Amino acid sequence: MINQKKLPHSGARPDFGDELRSSPVTIAVFLLLLASISPWVVKPFQLMLLFFFVPITTLLLASWQPTKPWARWFLGFGLIGVIGQVSLWVEAPGVLTLLVVPVCMMAIMVNLRAGAVTAAVVSGSLLLMPAWCGAGGKSGEVIVALVCIWGTLAVLAGLFQRTYGFAHWAAEHYQMTSQLLQQALATTLSYDETLKELANAGRQLALSNERATALRLLAEEAEKTKVAFVSKVSHEFRTPLNMIIGLIDLIVKSPEIYGQPFPPAAAEDLNVIYRNCEHLSSLINDVLDLTQVESGRMTLRKERVDMASIANEAISVVQPLVTKKKLNMEVIIAHELPLVYCDRTRIRQVILNLLSNAARFTDHGGICVRIDQHSAYVVVSVNDTGPGINPQDRERIFDPFCQGSQTLWLDKGGSGLGLTISKQFVELHGGRIWFESVVGAGTKFSFELPVTDLIMPADAPNRWISEDWVWMEQFPSGRLPDLNPKPRIIVYDETGELAQPLSRYTDEIDMVDVGSLAQAVEAQRKLPAHAVIMNVPASSELTRTVEMLSNEIPNTAIVGCAFPSARKQAWEAHALDYLVKPVARDRLKQAVQLAPGRLERVLIVDDDPDVVKLLTRMLFTFAPELQIETAAGGRQALQMMQTQLPDLILLDVVMPEIDGWEFLSNKNANPEWQDIPVIFVTAQDPNTRPVNSPSLVVAINNGFSAGKLIRCAMALSATVLQPG
């Protein structure tokens, strides 16, 4: 801490007497030094004793009471007495002039007033004491002494005035400096407190980061658990769905196997069920796909579609319910509607959700579907004559699991997710959805979608100019081609399995899937692409194949990868095909036709008797002469093959005791069974696993300069090191 002296306010003049006052001890010591040489200078002896007496007594008084002014006054007037005795005992001119010394000493030791009092006493003594004046008989010496005394006192007064003024100025600045110092100390304390708070905040932030890291790990663990859960339940979803779709497909497309035709109304209802089952199957596939997308967002498979056809598909699904409730269905579609660039399945689901809600909540009147074009948007509206939406429900109608007030929406069914999902789908397309409702008069839900989603080419114009370009007078189709300005990538993959997984990760790039080198060259010639992605499952052949393709397609970046085939494991196990449930009859027929030789006996290995029954009926529709045997598991199938060998095996993967892969391994281990063809029919989709390439090769026919190499290295480093 700093000890500070309290100063008066700047308006008052401070008293600096104590600061400017000299100590009598110093003067007394100086007089003792003079007295020590007095025996050689001063005579008589009494005067010498007087010289010693005055300073010694002063020192004693100063030590006895240092805070009292007695020592100062004694020293001043004692010195006057000594000078007076000197003037009486010593005949020397100008001795009285020495009286100016005690006057100056009193002004210095006490203050200016004390000096004036001393000067007055000395002056009175000189004028009133004839002994001093007559000692030498020189009155002129007295006058000179008086002039010296008062002149010196006047000079001291001027000096004291200037000194006091300077001291006052110094005091004011000292006071200002003290205040600034106090402010600086306060600011320093505030900074110290701020630093402590920042340190505390830093510790809290570090703890928050640790907690966030722990929560992120939990979220990642939950994401992995979700993926594992979806993968496991996908089999349970696909198996019953396969039964429904397969049986309805048989009923609709092959009614003759049941012995008599179905009534037209029943056939129409079965068609509706079939379409809804296919829609449910596509949604399940989308859920499985979304769990594997590392970007964590939904991707849209956009194409240019006719909104009228999508609306008609959705209307056909809802039409039986509308007819059953005896409601009117009116469809108004504007003429010459432009094609809309959107995801057909998602938008169909939006319209289906709106129509389903309108049909469920409308008991009288009808439903009107209107499709118009407003500027650069196509607007779809679904208007019903139902009970309407209460004002208190309008703010939360798009919230999950919201179905409105119980008085109006009681026992109407539904999960309450339709409008929420519809809103998300529409906003993903860059559109918006809204509604207008009057209680008791109906509700009108509308949504708008942009007609097109244009993305400008990323390359300079000279990228698209070729010297061998030939003018075409007229396109073969008779009209201009539908040029898509999106970035374009050619995917050359002989397995045909890479384009679909790549399309899940982005909907802003036009993927062109080709299966041969000639098709890749032809696709690049018709419409140049930004790059060509080439998949070579064998990593050892990757570099050579990419260099060969770069020579065939000049001035285009060739990106080579080595993604393993999703069905590679099945092919390596000598399986003919890998069918994922639900399996359509035509797809099963196509796979069975791959079997070599004549088919007489087919063994179906599956633990689900309903699936066995369905596959049996499907086989009989296109091959009624087959002898079909069934096994409820891999162990039973191996035992049956000990007695009689089949010509073809339809094999499930997930089975108790011995699964499909273990059965196939045991079959291939027996030389007599190795050549028996196998077709997997399972709900375990290998496409649901993430695709990864162990290496990447980039080539272009004119090579890479040093500058391009550095830029490519930096760009690849930033991309490779970035989390998925």
Angle at 388 between CA 322 and CA 405, to 5 degrees: 105
Please indicate, yes or no, if residue 353 is contained in any of the structural domains.
yes
Please indicate, yes or no, if residue 281 is contained in any of the structural domains.
no
Please indicate, yes or no, if residue 256 is contained in any of the structural domains.
no
Domain boundary among 409, 426, 450: 450
Is residue 408 within 8 Å of residue 340, measured between CB atoms?
no
Please indicate, yes or no, if residue 337 is contained in any of the structural domains.
yes
What is the per-residue pLDDT for 615? Answer: 86
Site of tokens 């049909």: 359
Asked if 326 and 427 sit in the same domain, the reply is: yes
Rounded distance, CA 7 to CA 422, Å?
80
Give the Cβ contact number of residue 466 at 10 Å: 11
Domain at 663, CATH number: 3.40.50.2300
Please indicate, yes or no, if residue 411 is contained in any of the structural domains.
yes
Asked if 434 and 509 sit in the same domain, the reply is: no
The DSSP letter of residue 90 is S
Rounded distance, CA 631 to CA 607, Å?
8
What is the per-residue pLDDT for 413? Answer: 46
Asked if 69 and 184 sit in the same domain, the reply is: yes
Beta sheet of 531-535, edge-to-edge order: 510-514, 488-493, 531-535, 557-561, 696-699
Domain boundary among 232, 254, 282: 232
Domain at 367, CATH number: 3.30.565.10
Dihedral, CA atoms, 493, 499, 501, 506, nearest 10 degrees? 140
Q: How many domains does the chain have?
A: 4
Asked if 487 and 532 sit in the same domain, the reply is: yes
Asked if 523 and 590 sit in the same domain, the reply is: no
Asked if 163 and 39 sit in the same domain, the reply is: yes
Site of tokens 């579907």: 369
Q: Where are the alpha helices (DSSP H) in 129-263?
A: 130-135, 139-253
Domain boundary among 232, 247, 272: 232
What is the per-residue pLDDT for 481? Answer: 46
Please indicate, yes or no, if residue 246 is contained in any of the structural domains.
no
Rounded distance, CA 651 to CA 574, Å?
13
Asked if 118 and 187 sit in the same domain, the reply is: yes
What is the per-residue pLDDT for 407? Answer: 42
Asked if 29 and 128 sit in the same domain, the reply is: yes
Asked if 657 and 614 sit in the same domain, the reply is: yes
Dihedral, CA atoms, 336, 338, 342, 347, nearest 10 degrees? -30
Asked if 551 and 653 sit in the same domain, the reply is: no
Rounded distance, CA 542 to CA 532, Å?
14
Asked if 17 and 152 sit in the same domain, the reply is: yes
411: left (phi over 0), alpha (psi -120 to 50) or beta: left
First to last CA, the chain: 60
Lookup: tokens for 426: 């529409």
Asked if 348 and 494 sit in the same domain, the reply is: no
Please indicate, yes or no, if residue 238 is contained in any of the structural domains.
no
586: left (phi over 0), alpha (psi -120 to 50) or beta: alpha
What is the per-residue pLDDT for 43? Answer: 54
Please indicate, yes or no, if residue 250 is contained in any of the structural domains.
no
What is the per-residue pLDDT for 231? Answer: 61
What is the per-residue pLDDT for 446? Answer: 93
* Ranges under pLDDT 70 in the chain: 1-21, 34-51, 85-94, 129-140, 224, 226-228, 230-236, 238-239, 279, 282-300, 400-417, 452-485, 495-497, 500-501, 503-508, 538-539, 564-573, 684-692, 721-724
Domain with 393, as residue range(s), is: 302-450
Domain at 560, CATH number: 3.40.50
Burial class (CB in 10 A: 0-12, 13-18, 19+), 640: middle
